[in-house]
Structure 1
Amino acid sequence: MAAQKCLAVFGGNGFLGSKICQAALQRNWKVISVSRSGEPDWKTSTKNGHRPEWADGVTWVSADIFEPATYKPHLASADAVVHSMGLLLEADYKDVLRGKENPISGLRKAFQTGGSAWPKSANPLDKVPGDDIPTGDASRQLTYEKLNRDSALIAAKQFVESSSAKSKTFLYISAAAGFPILPQRYISTKREAEDLLTQVQDFRSIFFRPGFMYSHERPITVPMSYLTSVSSTMNKLTGNIFGGLLGAAGTAPMDVDKVGRAVVQAIDDKSIKGPVEVPLIESLSSKLT
């Protein structure tokens, strides 16, 4: 009998992360969620406010990705790691998904400050700080560079150093494109993270590029998905001439459950590596039983 796989999900209590955890459990994998708050607040994370039964199967770890000592031991048995942070509408600290603040204004306020370029190196992980990462308030101000790029490199380094798995997979949740009213840095920092992770030879890298994701459990995402669907249809009818202008709004929206299933299938399929665009995500989601 094959050994049970172990998956660690950074941001596992979030919008997409929780769906990835659920899909992995359906395959009888061991699942570890790493996030600042640990287990989700189910009263605001599910439509009925109840804790789902599958949550019992997840090890919920409360940790700070910028403080490796708080989670590094949990990566020792991990065969795969998913970085599911820095999503377009994943901003719990601004109460965006709970409908308490406008999504765009919340995200803009959260990421107003720019960041520095990543130091040049043959192995990008060589430039990742160790356990002595600064913890002052100024160093923790979130930027696209820190959340989309730096946190992924930090998680990747800890995975390489801690995991005893012979074959490792690191899956990064990227995006199909930016969004018209968000700064270009939102997507450019994700692409930079992809480029840097590609250079790491210690694991198989997969970069998921979904469009806008929605769920009926998060009502605020549904009307936005309708608008995105309309703009996507118009973009197709006009031969994609507005693709560069619309960004992610020109890509068909996706059910977050499907994306979660596709992530697990991609990890299980050794032939999948590099960027995974929307058509392949759709195909992968239908293969998970």
Structure 2
Amino acid sequence: MAEVVSFHKENGASLVRVERVGAVLRLTLNSPPANALSIAMMSALSDELDRASAAPDVRVVVIAATGNLFSAGHDLKELTAHRADPDRGREFFEKTLRMAADLMLKIAGLSQPVIAEIDGLATAAGCQLVATCDLAVCTDSSTFCTPGVNIGLFCSTPMVAVARAAHPKQAMEMLLTGETIDASTAKDFGLVNRIVPKQYLRQVVDKYASVIASKSPQALRVGKATYRAQAGLPLAEAYETAVAAMTENLLMDDAKEGIGAFLGKRMPEWTEK
């Protein structure tokens, strides 16, 4: 049974719904129909990620959304309103984009794995959010795009995440054409891991998350950090990073317990909660 922990509210409307199911924390963007990554939404999501980072009993984080649209990306009305500023919006534009970049870096740097649960359209910075998460599961009717080029605004910041998740030429295809791709194409491109029927989405994600949450928290923390650290390195440096990380991992209590349990043909009991 899910425990509803809290809501972030703005002008009486809930922005992020927070639930706990065992060791799994579910953060749901709750500002339909667009679930835009406004300043308020990014602030609320960032605050919850900070709380998750400080919670040793949270093993996995899921980012989902209400409604028929995962996220439309940045709030274009919010951005446009600042064109009347004395600097034509420069300060606010930079604040918005830096806040989004910091949010993506926070997800990447979070010790817990983060799973995106997508049902509907993930566009622009919404697609960036999906690409940034460690894993992504979507419905068979979900779609994805980086359409900035269609409105004279190349999706440069979404590009950073998409280019690291998708194959280079396919990432460029999305960015240059601005066209919407379906779930099957997104899986082929590398943006999502699994595609499921709409009625089974939460069930599959919950099972996926619970399986990961059952693993050693020490191993999960080391694994995610090492994966991120080695990803952009030359081969030899990547191996040096991995050797150092795995040596330290072998010295941890969970590795000692896990190997002992395997050799003793019993279930491990993880020491870090």
**TM-score normalised to structure 1 length:** 0.31
Radius of gyration: which is bigger? 2
TM-score w.r.t. the length of structure 2 is 0.33
Larger proportion of strand: 2
Answer 1 or 2: which has greater helix percent. Answer: 2
